[in-house]
Amino acid sequence: MNYGYQTNTWGGVVGHPAGVTSIKDLFYLTPGSDEQALREIAGAGCTGVELFDGNLMAYKGREDVFRGYLKAGNLSLIAVYSGANFIYGDVLNDELWRIEEAAKIGQALGAEFLVLGGGAVRAGGVHEEDYKALASGLDRAAEVAKRCGLTALYHPHLGTMIEGPEALAKVLALTTIGLCPDTAHLAAGGNDLPELIHTYAARIPYIHLKGLSREPFGFVPLDEDPEMAAIVQALKDVHYDGWITVELDSHPQPAVAARRSLDWLQGQLETVMP
């Protein structure tokens, strides 16, 4: 078992402003210091990191700078996170171009996974044919990732068309892509996470653990989520042995939150990890 962390705690989540008028340029971004984030993630005891596509694209042509950050913390790049609408046929090729750019920089920097969010909700609501379009788009993105030596995984979120268990089952039945659960988003969407992990264990080579506070609603370190222990137990039940990446969209003390989450997680897994 290896532990990673997403760098978005060190700056939050935005989209590149050029994407408002140019779909191909709509990369995710964390507007913080990558160097600081990687240094503090390593200091918390993690051995891997995940970054948004826009952050990694900033190192295109100067990959050695980012490799230096990884080497300084003895870190591996686990995954690059990207996303798309996927359901609009007239812009899908531009979205896939952007995903391919993310996969290429991920490959150059040693990533194993391409994590994909998305599945747009129309102004008039989800159409039944949107599930097929999303599945087809994900399969095409997975082929792009495969050509670049990465494994693509779908990552459902609140605000996309895949929130609850019925929608998730519907799209997964239509695509062969693997699954990278975000535990907080899926729990908030009405999924039973231990059941989900047992059901889809064979399709989960990588997972994001994110703490959820239901009241007031928000994302929290793992030790503040009363449901997280059952989720970790489910991972133990299915003998999960892949990367576990902790994600926390924001926190006033990112390094402290990372250390707390990792300490708690290692304590939960001590029966399988001396």
Q: What is the CATH number of the domain that holds 61?
A: 3.20.20.150
Q: What is the spatial distance between Cα 231 and Cα 192, in angstroms, rounded to a whole number?
A: 9
The pLDDT tens digits for 64-119 are 999 999 999 999 999 999 999 999 999 999 999 999 999 999 999 999 999 999 99
Average pLDDT over residues 46-52: 98
Give kind and range of the element (H or E) at residue 213.
strand 211-214
Tally of domains within the chain: 1
Give me the helix-helix angle, 89-108 and 128-147, nearest 10°: 30
Where in the sequence is the domain holding 176, given as residue range(s)? 2-268
3-state secondary structure of 208: strand
Q: Is the pLDDT of residue 274 over 70?
A: no
Average pLDDT over residues 258-265: 98
Q: Quick one: tokens of 64?
A: 């050695």
Q: Is the pLDDT of residue 56 over 70?
A: yes
Give the pLDDT confidence score for residue 167 in this predicted structure: 98
Q: What percent of the chain has pLDDT over 90?
A: 97
Q: What is the spatial distance between Cα 94 and Cα 158, in angstroms, rounded to a whole number?
A: 24
Give a yes or no: residue 33 inside a domain.
yes
Q: Is the pLDDT of residue 273 over 70?
A: no
Q: What is the spatial distance between Cα 67 and Cα 165, in angstroms, rounded to a whole number?
A: 39
Give a yes or no: residue 246 inside a domain.
yes
Give a yes or no: residue 249 inside a domain.
yes
Q: Is the pLDDT of residue 271 over 70?
A: no
Q: What is the spatial distance between Cα 268 and Cα 262, in angstroms, rounded to a whole number?
A: 10
HSE of 85, CA atoms in CB hemisphere, 13 A: 17
Give a yes or no: residue 203 inside a domain.
yes
The pLDDT tens digits for 5-37 are 999 999 999 999 999 999 999 999 999 999 999
The pLDDT tens digits for 175-197 are 999 999 999 999 999 999 999 99
The pLDDT tens digits for 134-186 are 999 999 999 999 999 999 999 999 999 999 999 999 999 999 999 999 999 99
Q: What is the spatial distance between Cα 110 and Cα 149, in angstroms, rounded to a whole number?
A: 9
Give the pLDDT confidence score for residue 1 in this predicted structure: 81
CB 264 within 8 A of CB 247: no
- How many of the other CB atoms lie within 10 Å of CB of 178? 20
> Which residue's structure tokens are 């971004």?
29
Give a yes or no: residue 273 inside a domain.
no
The amino acid present at 189, given as its one-letter code, is G
Q: What is the spatial distance between Cα 212 and Cα 220, in angstroms, rounded to a whole number?
A: 6
- How many of the other CB atoms lie within 10 Å of CB of 247? 24
Give a yes or no: residue 274 inside a domain.
no
- How many of the other CB atoms lie within 10 Å of CB of 199? 17
The strand pairing partners of 117, in sequence order, are: 83
User: Residue 161 has what DSSP assignment?
Assistant: S
Q: What angle do CA 66, 67, 73 make, to 5 degrees?
A: 95
